[in-house]
Amino acid sequence: MPCLARCQAGFWGRYFGLVLAFGLGAFYCAMCKAIENSPFAITPKNPQKPAYSPPFLILFAGTITKRGSFTGSIAYMLSRTLFYLREYFFPSGCGGCGRALFNGEDAYYGLCVECRTFVDTALAGERRCQTCGKPLVCESGDCLSCRDSGTEGYSGCLVKIRALFPYIGKFKAILGAYKFGKSLGVGNFLAERLPPALDEFGPAAEDAVWVPVPPRPGKIKKQGWDQIERLAGLLETAGHGRWPVCRCLKRLQSRSQKGLNREDRGSNLEGRIVRARQPPKTAVLIDDVITTGATLNACAKALIEGGAERVYGVCLFYD
């Protein structure tokens, strides 16, 4: 009897999931049809392309294989549907080029497929500095900046840094849409680019814990959020335990880093980032932009002094 009860419970759970999925699909298709017939509908620049997503149920069938379960597929599709509806009623457009977003996938990432492809292409095939992670323009293993500053530039605390994208042009617009425009969709896209950066650090970083760079005092109260904390939360949620996050650093009051040179940036944060709780043995710092590395350096020093053995850094953009 207990086995029979469990089988029945499993059956009804799957049945409920299927009914819910088809219900969401019907709702999504009805919304798409209503939007297409709406006098406020937006037509795409390229008339050869469909204005809106393919039928929801076809997309759902594809994600069953991708996600491996009804629950995962429902959550996957529901998130895209919600971002799609939000984009329709409160349009913000693509964070990279500004064009309208016409389907759930584009709305979820806050970027059109062309801009997502453009960004991902920039990650492929570049030789990187073995210290700061910026692209190399010479045959040496270190960039000119790291060769000039030497290892003391990072006080021997950071094992390695990986900087993903240049802070110029379309990349700058994408970060601006996320950081200043508070585009949560762009945050979803950027967060998914962080875990693959761990491959750059090798087996030593397999058990690493993500540590977000702490915000300035009062920033969250004043602005309502912090872009790095948002990324950390997305990693924590999407990783299901694979990408643990430890918020073990605290930033004390200091001047803004903007407009300061390398020496002043380093001295400005000297002793201003402290340990709030016990850090992990292997830590990977997250930040949005690296200029001189002073912020990562100060964080790494606090982690090492608190008991961390290895500290790496991943930055979305380099200036």
177 and 92 co-located in one domain: no
Interhelix angle for 70-89 vs 56-67, to 10°?
Answer: 140
Which pLDDT score is estimated for 126?
66
Q: Quote the CA–CA distance of 20 and 181 in Å, as a whole number.
A: 34
109 and 160 inside one domain: no
Does residue 105 belong to any structural domain of this protein?
A: yes
Distance, CA of 268 to CA of 265 (rounded, Å): 5
In angstroms, the CA 198 to CA 205 distance is 7
pLDDT value for 220: 85
Phi/psi for 244 (5° steps) reads -65, 150
DSSP structure string for the chain: -HHHHHHHHHHHHHHHHHHHHHHHHHHHHHHHHHHHHSTTPPPPSSTTS-SSPPPHHHHHHHHHHHHSSHHHHHHHHHHHHHHHHHHHHS----TTT-PPP-SHHHHHHTS-HHHHHHHHHHTSS--B-TTT-PBPSSSSSS-HHHHHH-GGGGTTTEEEEEEEEESSHHHHHHHHHHHTT--HHHHHHHHHTSGGGGGGG-GGGTT-EEEEPPPPTTHHHHHS--HHHHHHHHHHHHHTTSS-B---EEE-----STT--HHHHHHHTTTTEEESSPPPSEEEEEEEEESSSHHHHHHHHHHHHTT-SEEEEEEEEE-
- Of 81, 104, 122, the last residue of a domain is 122
Question: Among 68, 89, 122, which residue terminates a domain?
Answer: 122
Residue at 25 is within a domain = no
Does residue 259 lie in a domain region?
yes
- Whether residues 204 and 78 share a domain: the answer is no
CB atoms near residue 9 (< 10 Å)? 10
Residues 173 and 113 in one domain: no
Q: For 19-24, which contacts have Cβ atoms below 8 Å and span 24 or more sequence positions?
A: 20/74, 21/60, 21/70, 21/73, 21/74, 21/77, 22/57, 24/56, 24/74, 24/77, 24/78, 24/81
Strand 273-275 to 158-166 pairing: unpaired
Cβ(284)–Cβ(258) under 8 Å?
no
Residues 141 and 89 in one domain: no
Residue 7 falls within a domain, yes or no? no
Do 290 and 264 lie in a common domain?
A: yes
Is 275 within the bounds of a domain?
Answer: yes
Please give the pLDDT value at position 168: 92
Residues of the chain with pLDDT under 50: 1-9, 11, 32-68, 151-153
Q: Are residues 97 and 144 in the same domain?
A: no
Instruction: Please state the domain count of the chain.
Output: 2
**Same domain flag for 170 and 211:** yes
What pLDDT shows up at residue 7? 45
- Going by their DSSP bridges, the two strands 310-318 and 282-290 should be labelled as parallel
Q: Does residue 104 sit within a domain?
A: yes
Q: Quick check: is 18 in a domain?
A: no
Q: pLDDT tens, 65-112?
A: 444 455 556 777 788 888 988 898 999 999 999 999 988 899 999 999
Task: Write down which residue in 105, 122, 139 finishes a domain.
Answer: 122
Sign (positive or negative) of CA dihedral 33, 34, 37, 38: negative
Judgement on whether residues 78 and 97 belong to the same structural domain of the protein:
yes
State pLDDT tens for residues 109-145: 999 999 999 999 887 656 777 667 677 766 566 666 6
**Is the same domain home to 206 and 230?**
yes
* Residue 232 counted as domain residue: yes
Cα–Cα distance for residue pair 170/162, rounded to 1 Å: 20
Domain coverage including residue 146: 127-318
Q: Do 274 and 240 have their domain in common? A: yes
The reply to whether 115 and 137 lie within a common domain is: no
Note the pLDDT of residue 144.
67
